[in-house]
Amino acid sequence: MYSATLHYTGVPYQQHPGAAKAGIDALTKLWAVELGPHDVRVNGIASGPIMVLGSLDILIHTPR
């Protein structure tokens, strides 16, 4: 499962992806607990921000 680090600290105007990523993290943990006794391993990857031209402008500069 893929997530992100967006919801760990909070970013203005990113409520919808932050909530979705937090949900992915929760599902990963829940499935690991439920499926672990059946020898099924569940892994999650939470990558940091990917620096693309203009991406920092969107995340750092907030509208007034």
Residue 48 to residue 50: CA distance in whole angstroms: 6
Report the catalytic residues: 3, 21
Residue 29 to residue 14: CA distance in whole angstroms: 23
Do the beta carbons of residue 5 and residue 47 sit within 8 Å? Answer: yes
